[in-house]
């Protein structure tokens, strides 16, 4: 498999440390607010990568963090604590807030058929691991303290900036005028490993004892410590959004490689941004959408997955409702194709050998998906297969095999349970009454009306059948 590596800035052959085992770490949500569709695009890209690795014979161990403490409003160390700010806004406790939004995150990824990680790792359950890593950094002379926090001294790590390509002297940390700046920081790029429960954080609810005083961990130490705990000193793949490259992931590299003396990550996998109507998503612009916003419009959540697969993970994508409706229609078409194939193949037997044409399509799909996860090309192959003349049994089995990677859940499309709206059922009953009465002009008129609404009706020896067009 060939995969783009952010660290090398090129597509290279993927080589795990201990083939076929793959250690896979993905940055999870900070659970202070609802998971939105921008998050979901990144998680879908990560899921397809994981499925691809499994399809190609690798054994993936997937770890994802849940950040429920330590993440401030901004990637640097200035600003408010996101969890406490969210709890105040929602008039609840930070613990209840974390639980509610973790549940919503899981509900969201389940809705779009994302496989859950092997370990879902809450930051608040790993405070001892964070403290131990900071103690190691302290012994090696890479930290210093101020009255407010314990910091990592980035000037002592010569390779700082190697992931983003930014030199330390050129690196600027954006800070708003209305946020706190620790006067004791030596360098704006130095990052907090531990915040002390003093000053602006003197009333911080989440707090633990530590060698540096009562307080709570910085955001960046969390991923490093949990990576090492569950996947060892070197991780095969670390995934996240491109917004994490310049600060969060640079900081992870610095503290991890200082701690272990080994390469932290072999392959960095980053997903590009999602825009909404050409703009950044925000509640103030009223373009902040969740999985529930999609369901409220009677759109299948898996249509969102299909839509996201149409754009390569390293390209910025623009979301519009028109594009999602189009994807919803395309997904309904896929459902109908699967239903028709299943009805023609009452008993599915996966053959060990398939015909040459089916083999060629399979190889075409493998070539696309194993070349930097080219989902648009992989989808094109899927549609080619649906229009091909390969035998129905081979066609169905090949589509379902491919969908193990794409994750559109086509295996569970059931002709018997596809929901038909009551309006369509009523029109079908009226048509049946007209047909039995031999009022064929009325029957034909009702059939056309049903078709205009996206459904079709067929008469069989056992009665009529309604299906999506």
In DSSP terms, 150 is beta-bridged to 145, 194
Say what the pLDDT of residue 319 is.
97
Answer yes or no: do 337 and 396 share one domain.
yes
Answer yes or no: do 129 and 6 share one domain.
yes
Q: Which helix (H) or strand (E) holds 47?
A: helix 37-55
Say what the pLDDT of residue 176 is.
44
278 in a structural domain: no
Is 54 in a helix, a strand, or coil?
A: helix
Provide the domain limits for residue 462. Answer: 422-468
- Cβ–Cβ under 8 Å, residues 265 and 237: yes
Which domain CATH number covers 258? 3.40.50.620
Answer yes or no: do 92 and 138 share one domain.
yes
Separation of alpha carbons 430 and 442, rounded Å: 9
Say what the pLDDT of residue 347 is.
47
Say what the pLDDT of residue 283 is.
73
User: Could you give the angle at which helices 392-406 and 37-55 cross, rounded to 10 degrees?
Assistant: 120
373 in a structural domain: yes
439 in a structural domain: yes
Answer yes or no: do 203 and 232 share one domain.
yes
In DSSP terms, 66 is beta-bridged to 122
Separation of alpha carbons 64 and 257, rounded Å: 20
pLDDT tens for the chain, 469 residues long, are 999 999 999 999 999 999 999 999 999 999 999 999 999 999 999 999 999 999 999 999 999 999 999 898 866 677 888 999 999 989 999 999 999 999 999 999 999 999 999 999 999 999 999 999 999 999 999 999 999 999 999 999 999 999 999 887 766 554 444 456 788 999 999 999 999 999 999 999 999 999 999 999 999 999 999 999 999 999 999 999 999 999 999 999 999 999 999 999 999 999 999 999 999 887 778 889 999 999 999 899 999 999 999 999 999 999 999 999 999 999 999 999 998 898 776 545 445 567 999 999 999 999 999 999 999 999 999 999 999 999 999 999 999 999 999 999 999 987 665 667 778 878 888 998 888 888 989 989 998 988 888 788 888 766 777 777 7
Task: Domain count for the chain, please give it.
Answer: 3
- Cβ–Cβ under 8 Å, residues 32 and 88: no
128 in a structural domain: yes
Answer yes or no: do 207 and 94 share one domain.
yes
Radius of gyration of the chain (CA): 26
Question: How many other β-carbons are positioned within 10 Å of the β-carbon of residue 184?
Answer: 13
Answer yes or no: do 444 and 402 share one domain.
no
Answer yes or no: do 133 and 234 share one domain.
yes
- Cβ–Cβ under 8 Å, residues 438 and 449: no
Say what the pLDDT of residue 78 is.
74
Among 376, 393, 412, the domain boundary falls at 412
Say what the pLDDT of residue 455 is.
83
Answer yes or no: do 255 and 379 share one domain.
no
Helices (H), 232-355: 250-260, 291-296, 301-309, 321-344
Answer yes or no: do 262 and 330 share one domain.
no
CA atoms within 13 A on the CB side of 379: 18
Question: How many other β-carbons are positioned within 10 Å of the β-carbon of residue 21?
Answer: 13
Among 412, 433, 457, the domain boundary falls at 412
462 in a structural domain: yes
286 in a structural domain: no
**Of 39, 35, 33, 31, nearest in space to 98 by CA:** 31
Answer yes or no: do 24 and 161 share one domain.
yes
277 in a structural domain: no
**Of 335, 344, 343, nearest in space to 418 by CA:** 335
pTM of whole model > 0.85?
yes
Answer yes or no: do 209 and 332 share one domain.
no
249 in a structural domain: yes
Answer yes or no: do 46 and 88 share one domain.
yes
């Amino acid at each position: 498999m060939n995969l783009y590596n952010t660290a090398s800035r090129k597509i290279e052959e993927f080589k795990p440390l201990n083939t076929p085992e793959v250690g896979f770490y993905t940055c999870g949500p900070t659970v202070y607010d609802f998971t939105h569709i921008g998050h979901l695009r990144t998680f879908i890209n990560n899921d397809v990568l994981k499925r691809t690795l499994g399809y190609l014979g690798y054994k993936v161990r997937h770890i994802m963090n849940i950040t429920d403490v330590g993440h401030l409003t901004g990637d640097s160390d200035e600003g408010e604590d996101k969890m406490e700010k969210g709890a105040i806004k929602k008039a609840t406790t930070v613990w209840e807030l974390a639980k509610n939004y973790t549940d919503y995150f899981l509900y969201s990824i389940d809705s779009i058929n994302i496989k859950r990680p092997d370990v879902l790792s809450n930051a608040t359950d790993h405070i001892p691991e964070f403290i131990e890593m900071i103690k190691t950094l302290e012994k090696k002379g890479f930290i210093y303290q101020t009255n407010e926090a314990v910091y990592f001294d980035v000037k002592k790590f010569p390779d700082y900036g190697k992931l983003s390509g930014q030199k330390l002297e050129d690196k600027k940390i954006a800070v708003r005028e209305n946020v706190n700046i620790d006067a004791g920081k030596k360098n704006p790029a130095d990052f907090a490993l531990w915040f002390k429960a003093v000053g602006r954080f003197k009333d911080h609810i989440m707090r633990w004892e530590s060698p540096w005083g009562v307080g709570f961990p910085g955001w960046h130490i969390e991923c490093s410590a949990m990576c090492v705990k569950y996947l060892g000193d070197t991780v095969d793949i670390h995934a996240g959004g491109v917004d994490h490259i310049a600060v969060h992931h640079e900081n992870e590299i610095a503290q991890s490689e200082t701690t272990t003396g080994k390469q932290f990550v072999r392959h960095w996998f980053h997903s590009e941004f999602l825009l909404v109507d050409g703009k950044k998503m925000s509640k103030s612009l009223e373009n902040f959408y969740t999985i529930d916003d999609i369901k409220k419009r009677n759109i299948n959540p898996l249509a969102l997955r299909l839509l996201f697969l149409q754009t390569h993970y390293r390209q910025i994508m623009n979301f519009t409702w028109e594009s999602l409706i189009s994807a919803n229609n395309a997904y309904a078409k896929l459902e109908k194709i699967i239903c028709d194939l299943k009805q023609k193949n009452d008993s599915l037997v996966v053959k060990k050998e398939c015909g040459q044409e089916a083999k060629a399509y399979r190889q075409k799909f493998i070539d696309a998906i194993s070349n930097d996860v080219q989902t648009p090309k992989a989808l094109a192959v899927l549609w080619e297969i649906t229009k091909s003349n390969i035998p129905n049994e081979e066609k169905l089995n090949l589509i379902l095999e491919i969908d193990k990677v794409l994750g559109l859940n086509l295996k569970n499309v059931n002709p018997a349970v596809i929901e038909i709206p009551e309006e369509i059922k009523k029109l079908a009953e009226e048509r049946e009454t007209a047909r039995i009465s031999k009022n064929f002009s009325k029957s034909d008129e009702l059939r056309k009306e049903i078709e205009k609404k996206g459904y079709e009706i067929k008469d069989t020896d056992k009665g009529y059948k309604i299906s999506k067009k």
